[in-house]
Chain A
Amino acid sequence: MTAALIEANGLVKHYGEFVAVDDISFAIQEGECFGVLGPNGAGKTTTIRMITGTSPVTQGHLRVAGLDVAVEPRRVKAVLGVVPQDDNLDPDLLVRQNLEVYARYFGLGRETVRQRIDEALELFHLDDRAQSNVDELSGGMQRRLTIARALVNAPKVLILDEPTTGLDPQARHLVWQQLRLLKSRGVTMLLTTHYMEEATHLCDRLVIMNRGKILIEGRPHDLIAKVAGPQVLELRLPLSERDELIAEFVHGDDITVEQVGDLTYVYGGGEASSMAAERVGDPHRAHLRPGNMEDVFLLLTGRGLLD
């Protein structure tokens, strides 16, 4: 097995008294898409800031491509492609200039990257906008340009901080499609998100973070099977009727029942859950559906409002 491209060991970040990242460890292998899933304030962006050298590590070790981030920030940043949460394209430059000037920050001349930029513009469907002003682009186009920009130095790892936050569904799906394409070309990715669908679709492996800690790590489908179970029963019934139903069908050690507002979630019910759903007979009141990442996430981080 080759050395990990990004390796965090006992990583800690304090802001005064506040602990933003609390002793996390993970390793990202070459060619992998690794997800960090968590609510706002979980420590995702802080973790990324430590990797990209804009936030000094309080404690622990962080290596990128074998280089210590604290010791060789320039060499580390040379092998990273960073897509920040908020687009920070250069509005003073045209679309193509954005890529050329960014390549120059890496010491790459215009001739060296000419072909790479042509390909990136084509791949992200921006080739006919090469001479546009950045602020004439739609939100989705700006996002794609930001991703294209992060690729001009042919990075070893592409780091995406909530790449589709704020995009409409069409734009989001286009970005996903392009990220999958990059993945199929062997680009290693680190992705933070609070979209469960995004994490399930794109990530080979992910961690769920909450309050600075990693709660769980695994492959998306393994996590769903392990935490939420293959099927989840959603009940919208009066309490007495609900209790009766649960008492009759759904009991056992592996079963979790959660009440949220007027909704009841039954996890791990297996065969019993489908029988209960059949008994009610109305999919609006008893809905049996496959478990998903959202179940895993909410079971682990709680359904309360975190802010």
Chain B
Amino acid sequence: MVLSLRPDISSGAFRVWQRNRDATLRNWKTEFLGIAVEPFAVILALGLALGKFVELENGEEYVQFLTPGLLALFPMFASTFECAWGSYVRLEMQGTYESIIATPISVDDVITGEIMWGTTRALVNGTYILLVALLLNPWLHMVDSPWALLVIPVGVLPGLLFSSISIAFASIARAMSHFAYFFTLVINPMFWFGGAFFPFEDMPRWVQIIGWFVPLKHVIDIYRGLINGNLEWSMLGSLAWLAVVTAAFYVLAVQLMRRRLIH
């Protein structure tokens, strides 16, 4: 049973999603505050304040360059926090998974529901940032093309991806402190070097080769194309790569969590 590669999924996954929704809505004020304030801070501090000192080759304002990164980074953090720390707390400290799998819901349902919820948080976050960008558009020109609206549906894929990576890590973590490895070695390098803050093309060739494998870079490439309205075939390649990595980490997370909970 544990070795079967085929996920055993039912409507139970949705029940797990509902549980997380209900738990989050109980604290919606705190939750909302974090989501609401952060993008403004970054737009002010980096986009406008730091942006004054930055001159881009193509004549773009720095805050414009920064927009795809904002749309990729904050949702990435939303799903990683939810499915790394949040999932670990539910798995290990609260015994929530244990209580759920005593009902007709399977481990695979739990993982799937958690990832769906992590993705939902990414989407809420991304949608909000896009709204802020559109709201500020008359002054800051952060969005150039109506294609930008596609950032929302396309955002499902990175949501699933970062949720899956995070929960795969949560399933092998043995202590809260282990997440330092995850954030220091995986998430933070992506944050800084994923192409959100400076053009990736300016990096040395070997960095670019490594960078090609970094999922966040592809997310930002796709978003940049959509926001500027410069659609390219390579964006489909990026989507395909994201899909492959997502599927791999999803299967990995399911396997690892089965091993953790069923023994």
Contacts and interface: CB of A to CB of B under 8 A. Distances in A.
Given A54-B262, A74-B104, A106-B104, A88 B23 contact: no
B96 A90 contact: yes
Contact of B1 (A52, A56, A87): A56
Interface residues of A, number: 32
Given A54-B102, A54-B261, A88-B96, 11 more contacts: A54-B101, A56-B262, A78-B104, A84-B99, A88-B99, A89-B99, A92-B94, A92-B96, A93-B19, A101-B19, A105-B12
Contacts, number: 78
B199 interface: no
A190 to B, nearest CB: 14
Interface residue range, chain B: 20 to 34
Query: Interface SS of chain A: helix, strand, loop or mixed?
Result: loop
A94 B19 CA distance: 12
A104 interface: yes
A90 B94 contact: yes
A105 B262 CA distance: 19
A90 B23 contact: yes
Contacts of A102: 99, 103
Given A55-B262, A88-B96, A74 B19 contact: no
Interface of A: 15, 52-56, 70, 73-75, 77-78, 80, 82, 84, 86-94, 97, 101-102, 104-107, 153
Given A94-B26, A105-B103, A74 B98 contact: no
A285 B187 CA distance: 71
B89 to A, nearest CB: 9
B22 interface: yes
Contacts of B19: 90, 93, 101, 104-105
A80 B103 CA distance: 8
Contacts of B12: 105
A266 B19 CA distance: 58
Nearest to B18: A104
A87 B102 CA distance: 13
Contacts of B95: 84, 86-88
B102 A52 contact: yes
A94 B106 CA distance: 24
